[in-house]
């Protein structure tokens, strides 16, 4: 498999996550506020894995082949973002890998909370690589269990009871496919650890 090729199982993972999102959205009815142009979850950096990074790079390559001007806009925003974030990046700014030391983890918790995602089109508030977005982006909004808590977007489920929120819980990867696919992506690329979207696309 070429070093930039996604593991074959990634398409299955994406289909499963997308189906889980659609099912949760159906159960959520009007409580789910997510819609094109709502981009609150696209502001503030977050960690992505090497499988997500591969998927994003593939998406940008496809965008370049279809709409080179839009892709050039993404590339320009990526360059600007990397330039802004590199001096204070809590890890290795050359590789874009987030550090694992206690000090770096502390810095990560406070890092770039107001930085918009470089893949976000500032004119429309929509994602330029939507079909190739990270798994986390596909699960933000509906209730998802994380570290023992059922988390939801603060814009969603306004007025819903705890029981109503729980009834809409999303189970994004019930077969636990992602960890093995991340390992495969890291093995193929030789890059291990988490990064952020800007560094994944630089």
What is the tens place of the pLDDT at every residue in 58-91?
999 999 999 999 999 999 999 999 999 999 999 9
Distance, in Å, from the CA atom of 35 to the CA atom of 160, rounded to the nearest integer, reads 19
Q: What is the pLDDT of residues 144-189, one digit of tens each?
A: 988 788 888 889 999 999 999 999 999 999 999 999 999 999 998 9
* Segment holding 84, helix H or strand E: helix 68-85
Three-state secondary structure readout of 128-139: CCHHHCCHHHHH
CB 198 within 8 A of CB 55: no
Q: Where are the domains of the chain?
A: 10-201
Q: What's the rounded Cα separation, in Å, for the pair 178 and 165?
A: 25
Residue 68, token pair as written in the block? 């080179």
Give CA–CA dist 72/11, Å, rounded.
26
Residue carrying structure tokens 């994004």: 172
pLDDT number for residue 44: 96
- What's the confidence (pLDDT) of residue 3? 57
Give residue-wise pLDDT tens across range 2-58.
Answer: 457 899 999 999 999 999 999 999 999 889 888 888 899 999 999 999 999 999 999
CA–centroid distance for 86 within its chain: 20
pLDDT tens profile 43-66: 999 999 999 999 999 999 999 999
| Predicted confidence (pLDDT) at residue 107 exceeds the cutoff of 90 | yes
Confidence (pLDDT) at 190: 93
Tokens of 102: 């206690």
In the prediction, which pLDDT does 2 show?
43
In the chain, DSSP assigns E strands to 91-92, 97-98, 120-121, 126-127, 144-146, 149-151
Report the chain's mean pLDDT, rounded to a whole number: 94
Q: What's the CA gap between 120 and 38, in Å, rounded?
A: 11
In whole angstroms, what is the distance from residue 95 CA to residue 161 CA?
44
Q: Which residues contact 176 (CB under 8 A, 6 or more apart)?
A: none
Model pLDDT, residue 5? 84
pLDDT score of 1:
37
Residues 118-153: pLDDT tens digits?
999 999 999 999 999 999 999 998 999 887 888 888
Average pLDDT score over residue span 192-196: 97
Q: Report the pLDDT value the prediction gives residue 134, as an integer from 0 to 100.
A: 98
Q: How far is CA 141 from CA 24, 80, 88, 97, 173, in A?
A: 10, 28, 29, 26, 16
How much is the average pLDDT of 91-110? 97
């Amino acid at each position: 498999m070429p070093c930039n090729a996604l593991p074959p199982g990634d398409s299955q993972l994406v289909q499963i996550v997308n189906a889980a999102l659609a099912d949760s959205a159906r159960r959520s009815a009007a409580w789910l506020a997510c819609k094109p142009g709502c981009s609150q979850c696209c502001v503030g950096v977050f960690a992505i894995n090497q499988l997500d990074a591969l998927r994003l790079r593939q998406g940008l390559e496809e965008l370049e082949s279809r709409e080179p001007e839009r892709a050039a806009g993404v590339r320009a925003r990526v360059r600007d973002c990397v330039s802004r974030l590199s001096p204070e990046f809590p890890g290795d700014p050359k590789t874009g890998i987030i550090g694992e030391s206690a000090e770096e983890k502390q810095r990560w918790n406070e890092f770039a909370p107001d930085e918009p995602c470089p893949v976000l089109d500032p004119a429309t508030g929509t994602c330029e690589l939507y079909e190739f977005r990270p798994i986390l982006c596909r699960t933000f909004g509906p209730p998802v269990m994380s570290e023992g808590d059922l988390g939801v977007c603060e814009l969603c489920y306004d007025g819903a009871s705890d029981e109503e929120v729980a009834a809409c819980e999303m189970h994004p990867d019930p077969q636990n496919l992602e960890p093995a696919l991340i390992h495969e992506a890291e093995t193929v690329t030789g890059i291990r650890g988490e990064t952020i979207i800007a560094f994944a696309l630089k």
